[in-house]
Structure 1
Amino acid sequence: MERRRQLISHTLKAKKRRLQPGPDPGDAAQPETWEGPGAVDSALRYLASLFPRQLFEDALPPLVLKHQLYSLVKDRTAVDRHLSRLKDEGLVRLFQLGFDTEAFGVVFAQDYVAKVLQSVEGKEQAGTVRRFLQTAFTSCADVSYEKGRMLRDFGFQDHDITLLVSAGVLTVRDAGSWWLAVPGAGRFVKCFIKGRKAVQAMIQKAKYKEVLLSDLQSRRAPRAVKLGLPYHIHDLIGAQLVDCVPSTSGTLLGGCAGGPGEAGPSWAHGLSPCPPASPAPPGPCCAWPTPDRRRAVPRTDGRTPGLDFPSMQWGPLWLQPV
């Protein structure tokens, strides 16, 4: 009997082992603070580390979107000023991605040159591309190039520009103008657009169309999210496609119906379960069929006097004549 009591006692006193939460995927190699003179540099290196190089067979340099930096460094003016200084120093280059006029990519110049030379190695365009990188690329830090300057300052003829376009270094902007481009970036843009839509759908399907940032980061990414959840989360926050609301449980992300810069009302972001009701019209209103109310008139046919209801109308009471 004593042995049985001891077994029951030990069984009831046994404690269940709790699963320890794993590391936060969004905090890997992430600096602790995003303030100070080195905040933009730290944020840029961190976002570049999130780029999955192996997804593209290491054929693309680490691509960072400019607005992703806004999700880490709150002072947007400081971000723009620092990027402009890095661009003038030749350390980074900005380029147009093509799917949005406001979306600019940021890439380290050294990585860009290495991947461009790797993409044209042994091809017909190799000599022209190498000359472009040594002259126009290093001398002009703009995101686009004009035909007049290409001919006058750098000596590139129409045939040379055609080779640069075929190599993917330039893309047509308009007549006589070309954007600086990354060869093979079309695959990245395709994966990026699909992944952004998938992460937005995850937020929209959540209860009240809002989810905690920590919960979203710990979820398993859908198959369409090939760039990784942290990469797309910084994209949505920086592009203002979601609202970030501080709460006692952490940062709350709410889906936003508008595009970048279109904040909209809080209910459109998913921060409330339903939109506000439309304002009521002034005065009492009823949708029941009401007669055209008129004053009592005397009867001449011998019937009981009463109100004359010549017609029945649909409409609010406050619209009917008295």
Structure 2
Amino acid sequence: MSKRVSIVLPDFYGQRKKLKGNHSISSGNCLGKNELFECLPTDTEAGLIYLKNRVFPLTKFEDMLPPILLVNQVYTIISNKTAVDKELNLLQSKGVIRVFKLVGAETVLVVIFFKDLTEHVIKHCPEKPVINRFLKILPQVQDVIVEKRFLREELGFLEQEISDLVGCGMLTLRSAASYWLSFPNSGEFLRIYFKGRKSVLGTIKKSKFSEILQPELEDRNLDKSVKLGIKYHIHDLIGAELVKWARQIDVSPPTESSSPSNVSSGAESRGMLAPRVEVRGCS
């Protein structure tokens, strides 16, 4: 029977307050002071903004990839997966984000802010009218796949135009009659992502007693194999339930010698951990 890796992380957010609104702060629809409250992002959008600005290594990939976030990562911030999925669908219907299903060694659901996607496509695709046209109609396609018949009969794309979209990386072949929606350099992202995930998991498993402090893991020199950053993969592994978040608390009174590195494991965290691997974070 397969076992899951276990991981312990600090609570990045503390108590979370639900923010509701009809507009997206990322979409630029805040027109005046009266709409400021409505422009507050939902929990899901706020989580995506955090992941983009604080977790994805923007400077490393600015010439090759847009900020690519994982649906799994959002689950580490908001535990209600159903609510996350509903809000992602709503954000996509409003044209704020785009969800892609990338198929490699495993299937990965990724999220890109639509503004970032547009800038990335314009930068990496030839200047052809079909590219801009496809970007404009993309919000009409809410699924992660698109039928060839729909492209030709409903949207009016010619065979050569569809070939241009495939060549640019906007479409990848799914079957003789359908395509996955995609983006330029998505294959390179998958290569980097799977290599980094494997490296981080391997590092955890090889640690003494199959345990490692989260700060110690983040300090490991894995830059060559983990280009997306260890924090990026930690969020992914927890959300994918390949590791288990069992937050550690110190049950002993503080002393002068107390430090994050010697926090007591406590009965709570020990009882929740699977035997395979534990990564402990500091509270």
Deviates more, 1:41-50 or 1:161-170: 41-50
Distance 1:83 1:251 in 2: 36
One-letter amino acid of the counterpart of residue 110, structure 1: K
Distance 1:101 1:152 in 2: 32
What is the correspondence of 1:29-178 to structure 2 with a 5 Å cutoff?
31-37=13-19, 38-49=42-53, 50-99=55-104, 102-122=107-127, 126-135=128-137, 137-178=138-179
1:62 is paired with a residue of what secondary structure? Answer: coil
Structure 1 pair 134–63 and aligned structure 2 pair: CA distance change class (3 A): same
For the 8 Å contact 1:212–1:251, the answer to whether it is kept is: no
For 2:39, the equivalent position in structure 1 comes to none
1:242 is paired with a residue of what secondary structure? Answer: coil
For 1:216, the equivalent position in structure 2 comes to 217
Structure 1 pair 35–200 and aligned structure 2 pair: CA distance change class (3 A): farther
For the 8 Å contact 2:93–2:139, the answer to whether it is kept is: no
1:33 deviates by: 4.4
Distance 1:44 1:191 in 2: 21
1:71 deviates by: 1.2
For 2:24, the equivalent position in structure 1 comes to none
Distance 1:166 1:110 in 2: 21
For the 8 Å contact 2:97–2:112, the answer to whether it is kept is: yes
For 1:226, the equivalent position in structure 2 comes to 227
TM-score by length of structure 2 reads 0.73
1:32 deviates by: 4.8
1:206 deviates by: 1.0
Query: Paired residues, what number?
Result: 227
TM-score by length of structure 1 reads 0.65
1:243 is paired with a residue of what secondary structure? Answer: coil
Structure 1 pair 165–43 and aligned structure 2 pair: CA distance change class (3 A): same
For 2:243, the equivalent position in structure 1 comes to 242
Query: Sequence identity, in percent?
Result: 34
One-letter amino acid of the counterpart of residue 133, structure 1: L
Structure 1 pair 114–172 and aligned structure 2 pair: CA distance change class (3 A): same
Distance 1:251 1:99 in 2: 38
One-letter amino acid of the counterpart of residue 237, structure 2: L
For 1:270, the equivalent position in structure 2 comes to 277
1:246 is paired with a residue of what secondary structure? Answer: coil
1:143-168 deviations in Å (ceiling 9; x for gaps): 11111211121101222111110111
Is the aligned partner of 1:184 residue 2:185? yes
Distance 2:131 2:215 in 1: 45
Structure 1 pair 155–58 and aligned structure 2 pair: CA distance change class (3 A): same
Distance 1:225 1:46 in 2: 20
For the 8 Å contact 2:100–2:181, the answer to whether it is kept is: yes
Distance 1:107 1:149 in 2: 24
Please, which runs of 5 or more residues in structure 2 have no aligned partner?
Answer: 1-8, 20-41, 251-262, 267-272, 279-283
Higher alpha-carbon Rg: 1
Distance 2:119 2:44 in 1: 23
What is the correspondence of 1:253-292 to structure 2 with a 5 Å cutoff?
266-267=274-275, 269-270=276-277
1:161-220 deviations in Å (ceiling 9; x for gaps): 111101110001111100110101222211111111111111101122122323323444
1:112 deviates by: 0.6
One-letter amino acid of the counterpart of residue 106, structure 1: V
Considering only aligned residues, what root-mean-square deviation do their CA atoms show, in Å?
A: 2.4
1:54 deviates by: 3.2
1:242 deviates by: 1.2
For the 8 Å contact 2:70–2:236, the answer to whether it is kept is: yes
For 1:297, the equivalent position in structure 2 comes to none
Distance 1:250 1:160 in 2: 62
Please, which runs of 5 or more residues in structure 1 have no aligned partner?
Answer: 1-25, 253-264, 272-322
